[in-house]
Structure 1
Amino acid sequence: MTERNGSVSREQQEQQEQDKKNGRVPGGEMPDWEKRFRAPRVSLPDWAEDAPDRSLFVSNATGTYELYAWDRATGEQRQVTDRPNGTTDGVLSPDGEWIWWFDDKDGDEFGVWRRQPFTGGPDEPAVPGLDPSYPAGLALGRDGRTAVIGRSTDEEGTTIHLARAGQEPVEIYRHRESAGVGDLSHDGTLIAVEHTEHGDAMHSALRVLRPDGTTVAELDDTEGGTRELGLEVLGFAPVDGDTRLLIGHQRRGRWEPLVWDVATGEQTDLALELPGDVSAEWYPDGGGLLIVHSFEARSELFRYDLAQRELLELPTPPGTVSGATARPDGSVEYLWSSAAEPSAVRSTRGGVVLDPPGLKCPPSVPVEDVWVEGPGGRVHALVQKPAGATGPLPTVFDIHGGPTWHDSDSFAAGPAAWVDHGYAVVRVNYRGSTGYGRAWTDALKHRVGLIELEDIAAVREWAVTSGLADPERLILTGGSWGGYLTLLGLGTQPDAWTLGIAAVPVADYVTAYHDEMEGLKALDRTLLGGTPEEVPDRFEASSPLTYVDQVKAPVYISAGVNDPRCPIRQIENYVDRLQSRGHTHEVYRYDAGHGSLVVDERIKQLRLELSFAERHLPTH
């Protein structure tokens, strides 16, 4: 086995060997897979409601993901944050005067909000008087003086505070179960909260509060004992005195928007005839909605006119829109990519809105759709393979995290790197994934992990029998929930996989439950039906540690030592069991949380994974 805790001489030798295999020698050309990580990229810019020329975005331009201020009127861009482990959680105040950002320690997600003037200057505590916590939402008032701050701690559960400049923050909400700030109305008189006081962490109810904490309105689709319908806050109408709240609901088995007037109780159901999930946000004049429609791993945009009840398609290229916003001039800016084409911030007026200078990201190969009959219905998988290659190929099953997430036809540097090295890559939207209806997402309760692996096994069988995948060279890999499914799959399907590579995984479910942040404990109680003490058999059945002695394939694990989601102690327990068996494995620990925002670190981790596969996968 190998234990890695930073750079060592052997690692440097391995990197040099790997560089040679990649075609990179001192003074030589950087390989495309590394360029995809190093090429500067930007997020969709967030703009100030009352100062729309002022924007905030995230970029890796310096080699670490940080916040940047952008004055569109002058073209000036300025780096706002500069921390060793990066910063991505930031909010621009509606008046455009302040940038709020969340300050944690080395990726542990536990910290406080700080703020900095948009034009630059020293950081300062944004809300003096509030102790560090996990963030649970933030909404800033247009007056520049009001903030609603959600906080979560293991001791208190969730609290929400109202803070005004020059005054002590006032607690307006508290509950043991998870909750979060949804939005603050345009005039600052209404506060929308998502909560799970009913105990189902997968399906939120809504409450609208006054600034003094008294209740204005409630909406709870979990009532009646079904506990299977969730709601989400999409935003208050951007008009003074307007009491309309845009929300998402699941009443027809998928996510759809409706407009709820919290003052009158009237609900306006849009009933859009679109398959798949539908989300929305307001146009700045409050007269229309920007619709984002996601279906079968792709997405598209529409404008919905509330007065005429008309839906107008906004042309976008085939692929995935991962964020969109309507500007005051009526145009829409959106972040788009496909599996073949790198991400770009585009506008419906044409062209790229924000194009970072420097190294350009090389393209990759397009994705192919595969539908496989599984035990719970048709499973959608996305396949990439080297151009012109014919099987059987060494194949990587790259399993997404979440679990309430889904892989899409969007650009991803990791899968593209495996393709560059001659592998086919298969990504599976197993039961539990979003985008295929509520029943598909909710299907994994109680038999957690095992249900997802049934779907993955069905796609694996297709990959082998179709001639795509070489059954003797199959890698199971993933990060977070995907890392969890990797370790669980290696133990419950030991003959199916040649190699396992797990990043920031759940490895020992019981210990993970006791060590993780409170919000994730609530999710685990929902998924498994209780705590480890209440339903020990379910936790045992779903824990990779239970099956560790059945693992046959070599195992590679990477872990962030400050990770609050998949904490390090439970990973060490799993590694100790591998060690006691003398099982072939390698472990890499790095100084960050649930993943890294440092480009060099991401490249290093992928190099180690490629090297591990190169050394342990059979050659033909």
Structure 2
Amino acid sequence: MGPMTESTEPDMTDVTGADDATEMPDWEKRFRAPRVSLPEWAEDAPDRSLFVSNATGTYELYAWDRATGGRRQVTDRPNGTTDGTLSPDGEWIWWFSDTDGDEFGVWMKQPFGGGDDVPAVPGLAASYPAGLAIGRDGTVVIGRSTDEEGSTIHVARAGQEPAEIYRHRESAGVGDLSHDGTLIAVEHTEHGDAMHSALRVVRADSSVVAELDDTKGGQEELGLAVLGFAPVDGDTRLLVGHQRRGRWEPMLWDVGTGEETDLALGLSGDVSAEWYPDGTGLLIVHSYEARSEMFRYDIATRALVRVDTPAGSVTDATARPDGTVEYLWSSAAHPPVVRSTAGGVVLDAPGMAAPGSVPVEDVWVEGPGGRIHALVQKPAAGEGPYPTVFEIHGGPTWHDSDAFAAGPAAWVDHGFAVVRVNYRGSTGYGREWTDALKHRVGLIELEDIAAVREWAVASGLADPARLVLAGGSWGGYLTLLGLGTQPDDWSLGLAAVPVADYVTAYHDEMEALKAMDRTLLGGTPEEVPERFEASSPLTYVDAVKAPVYISAGVNDPRCPIRQVENYVDRLAARGAVHEVYRYDAGHGSLVVDERIKQVRLELDFALRQLRQLRQAGTRAEGR
């Protein structure tokens, strides 16, 4: 490995942080800058809103009274709180209480104006959440998941014990409750395919009203999703997402008559939708090639009218009773902001603003399964080839987009190029692309990552001697698997909350993820042991050559700690270069200081290891 030029040397400064905001590096400011989510508003009291913010240094729920301008912090827990909602009348804030980020707990509620937290549904034991719907008459529908019971759904009314109306071993959850509280939409996977749900509408006494199942009749690869009942009493139309044309699109399903109305919007990418509050139209969010745009669809005229938004990504949106639309928008270069079509910023957190970053460039690479879309960010100064981080997204049913991300921006600040690959398995490129990874899990995604890696080196973007494979959750899994199956391709690896030992992970993880793994791999470890072995990073751990950094939450129910320790023990037994950071939280952290600490540790590890690789290469050249 030859000496690096000054323009392509990774920035070794600003890793340890600073004592105050005036000296704080930009990468840290991006994490510390206060953020707010899109405010949810109570359906019958739209001035009452609920949002999430990190203003105190931990992500917590906040109430906002738009009429008075008053804001107050609702929750205050060491590991943070983000899962909450409002009752339709705005009188109560519901929030999910777990233990140290383990996602296992109960629903609590608190008066909107403040007061004591009380159990929202006394009589229901702790579980993993699987949907919640609150009716205007006080009826509540709660979805639950436990390893022992599988999926259950309960109806609770004031003064009565919760009544179970649904139970199945496969994953299921609450979709929505009709405006008049008489109909309950359930998403279920009783057919055994956890990636593609069917729908059932029932009454509170569990009697079935209607069924919609696109997995029948040889269409096992199609799925459905509940998008919401019409916001009008007595209206039995349900807005449904479907994949009948190979991508997600909305349609209307009248559960009373069985009539289906195909909207046929003619948009190329995935389309989601929600009702305008008066029920006359739909707010459409169209995601295509890592960016998004919005439209208003008039149900009576079938007219589709564009809602102007800047280029970038809309990660959340809602239509207000006055017809305006509020939305959370960002791009890779511009931090997130809650905007309104009425103009201006809807809600802003006080404090310093997050510095911007560099924009993304689109790259299309021919791969073994078709064209692969990748997003590339380059340092503002210097020329390639750059030290390059392949930042691999989680999910796997997710995709990277032209949206603001503090993690990749930190690498760019330190002189790295960042490449993010929307591999097969990612959403946003059609059903076939998303479903392609079945049975050869992990290996298929890595084929696409390898194709983009080859392009990055051949194009002069990436220095092949300074390539970092990194990611969290599924991205962490692909990182460890890639280090073992492509050992000569990567200089080092950074894996956060990864699957490391697939068999042990299956036995220890939450029940809903077991169902997903059975779908992806075609069975349990006992039924298809060869597939689990082929897809497990532990199988290839002895082939790993690159230094490895792993971080893991000790309370993680998705990628449990025991299977991570199994992998680490194997690294240690053979004397492989590795470092491990364990922290007291679940699948990631909601505490800003903890997030910054983790990024700092990753930066420090990468810069140290690349420096040592450079020195070793220089010594080799001198012999």
Aligning the two structures, in what range does the TM-score lie when normalised by the shorter sequence? over 0.9
1:322 is aligned to 2:329: no
Give the match's secondary structure for 2:204. Answer: coil
1:489 is aligned to 2:482: yes
Aligned to 2:50: 56
Aligned to 2:245: 252
Aligned to 1:96: 90
1:306 is aligned to 2:294: no
Counterpart pick for 2:390 among 391, 394, 397: 397
Once the two structures are TM-superposed, the CA of residue 224 in structure 1 deviates from its matched residue by: 1.6
1:397–1:425 contact (8 Å) kept in structure 2? yes
Give the match's secondary structure for 2:153. Answer: strand
Q: Give the whole-Å Cα distance in 2 for the aligned partners of 1:19 and 1:463.
A: 26
1:572 is aligned to 2:565: yes
Q: Give the whole-Å Cα distance in 2 for the aligned partners of 1:329 and 1:591.
A: 45
Aligned to 1:478: 471
Aligned to 2:593: 600
Aligned to 1:134: 128
Amino acid of the structure 1 residue aligned with 2:71: Q
2:15–2:604 contact (8 Å) kept in structure 1? no
Mapping of 1:406-555 within 5 angstroms?
406-555=399-548
2:14–2:25 contact (8 Å) kept in structure 1? no
Detail structure 1 runs of 4+ shifted over 3 Å in the superposition: 17-28
Aligned to 2:375: 382
2:269–2:287 contact (8 Å) kept in structure 1? yes
Amino acid of the structure 1 residue aligned with 2:261: T
Give the match's secondary structure for 1:349. Answer: coil
1:331–1:349 contact (8 Å) kept in structure 2? yes
For residues 74-126 of structure 1, what are the alpha-carbon distances to aligned partners after superposition, in whole Å with 9 as ceiling and x for unaligned?
00001000000000000111100000000000000000000000000000000
Give the match's secondary structure for 1:417. Answer: helix
1:205 is aligned to 2:212: no
Q: Give the whole-Å Cα distance in 2 for the aligned partners of 1:28 and 1:301.
A: 38
Q: Give the whole-Å Cα distance in 2 for the aligned partners of 1:310 and 1:547.
A: 55
Amino acid of the structure 2 residue aligned with 1:176: R
Q: Give the whole-Å Cα distance in 2 for the aligned partners of 1:597 and 1:58.
A: 11
Q: Give the whole-Å Cα distance in 2 for the aligned partners of 1:371 and 1:390.
A: 21
Counterpart pick for 2:71 among 77, 80, 85: 77
Counterpart pick for 1:590 among 583, 588, 601: 583
Once the two structures are TM-superposed, the CA of residue 166 in structure 1 deviates from its matched residue by: 1.1
For residues 151-171 of structure 1, what are the alpha-carbon distances to aligned partners after superposition, in whole Å with 9 as ceiling and x for unaligned?
000010000000011110000
Give the match's secondary structure for 1:414. Answer: helix
Counterpart pick for 1:293 among 286, 293, 297: 286
Give the match's secondary structure for 2:534. Answer: helix
Q: Give the whole-Å Cα distance in 1 for the aligned partners of 2:405 and 2:20.
A: 27
| Alignment RMSD (CA, Å) | 1.2
Q: Identity of counterpart residues, as a percentage? A: 83
Amino acid of the structure 2 residue aligned with 1:427: R
Aligned to 1:280: 273
Aligned to 1:10: none
Range 223-232 or range 306-315, more displaced: 223-232
Counterpart pick for 1:334 among 319, 322, 327: 327
Q: Give the whole-Å Cα distance in 2 for the aligned partners of 1:41 and 1:272.
A: 34
1:19–1:25 contact (8 Å) kept in structure 2? no
Q: Give the whole-Å Cα distance in 2 for the aligned partners of 1:254 and 1:54.
A: 35
Q: Give the whole-Å Cα distance in 1 for the aligned partners of 2:209 and 2:199.
A: 11
1:365–1:387 contact (8 Å) kept in structure 2? yes
2:481–2:536 contact (8 Å) kept in structure 1? yes
Amino acid of the structure 2 residue aligned with 1:52: P
Once the two structures are TM-superposed, the CA of residue 24 in structure 1 deviates from its matched residue by: 3.8
Amino acid of the structure 2 residue aligned with 1:328: P
1:120 is aligned to 2:114: yes
Q: Give the whole-Å Cα distance in 1 for the aligned partners of 2:29 and 2:352.
A: 7
1:498–1:554 contact (8 Å) kept in structure 2? yes
For residues 227-281 of structure 1, what are the alpha-carbon distances to aligned partners after superposition, in whole Å with 9 as ceiling and x for unaligned?
1000000000000000000000000000000000000000010001111100000
Q: Give the whole-Å Cα distance in 1 for the aligned partners of 2:21 and 2:392.
A: 36
Amino acid of the structure 2 residue aligned with 1:121: G
Once the two structures are TM-superposed, the CA of residue 593 in structure 1 deviates from its matched residue by: 0.2
1:63–1:600 contact (8 Å) kept in structure 2? yes
Aligned to 2:60: 66
Q: Give the whole-Å Cα distance in 2 for the aligned partners of 1:557 and 1:438.
A: 32
Give ranges in structure 2 of 5+ residues lacking alignment: 1-10, 616-623
1:264 is aligned to 2:257: yes
State the TM-score, normalizing by the size of structure 2. Answer: 0.96
1:29 is aligned to 2:23: yes
Give the match's secondary structure for 2:568. Answer: helix
Amino acid of the structure 2 residue aligned with 1:304: Y
Counterpart pick for 1:166 among 145, 159, 165: 159
Aligned to 1:175: 168
Once the two structures are TM-superposed, the CA of residue 387 in structure 1 deviates from its matched residue by: 1.2
Q: Give the whole-Å Cα distance in 1 for the aligned partners of 2:83 and 2:454.
A: 41
Give the match's secondary structure for 1:454. Answer: helix
Amino acid of the structure 2 residue aligned with 1:137: G
Q: Give the whole-Å Cα distance in 2 for the aligned partners of 1:415 and 1:506.
A: 22
Aligned to 1:156: 149
Aligned to 1:9: none
Give the match's secondary structure for 1:610. Answer: helix
2:15–2:603 contact (8 Å) kept in structure 1? no
Counterpart pick for 2:605 among 590, 612, 620: 612
Give the match's secondary structure for 1:488. Answer: helix
Counterpart pick for 1:243 among 236, 245, 254: 236
Give the match's secondary structure for 1:84. Answer: coil
1:558 is aligned to 2:560: no
Once the two structures are TM-superposed, the CA of residue 142 in structure 1 deviates from its matched residue by: 1.6
Amino acid of the structure 2 residue aligned with 1:301: M
State the TM-score, normalizing by the size of structure 1. Answer: 0.96
Q: Give the whole-Å Cα distance in 2 for the aligned partners of 1:433 and 1:386.
A: 26
2:379–2:415 contact (8 Å) kept in structure 1? yes
Give ranges in structure 1 of 5+ residues lacking alignment: 1-16
Give the match's secondary structure for 2:321. Answer: coil
1:342–1:363 contact (8 Å) kept in structure 2? yes
2:38–2:328 contact (8 Å) kept in structure 1? yes
1:44 is aligned to 2:57: no
Once the two structures are TM-superposed, the CA of residue 146 in structure 1 deviates from its matched residue by: 1.1
Aligned to 1:12: none
For residues 356-414 of structure 1, what are the alpha-carbon distances to aligned partners after superposition, in whole Å with 9 as ceiling and x for unaligned?
11111100000000000000000000000111432000000000000000000000000
1:65–1:86 contact (8 Å) kept in structure 2? yes
1:137–1:182 contact (8 Å) kept in structure 2? yes
- In structure 2, the CA distance between the partners of 1:52 and 1:554, relative to structure 1 (3 Å rule), is same
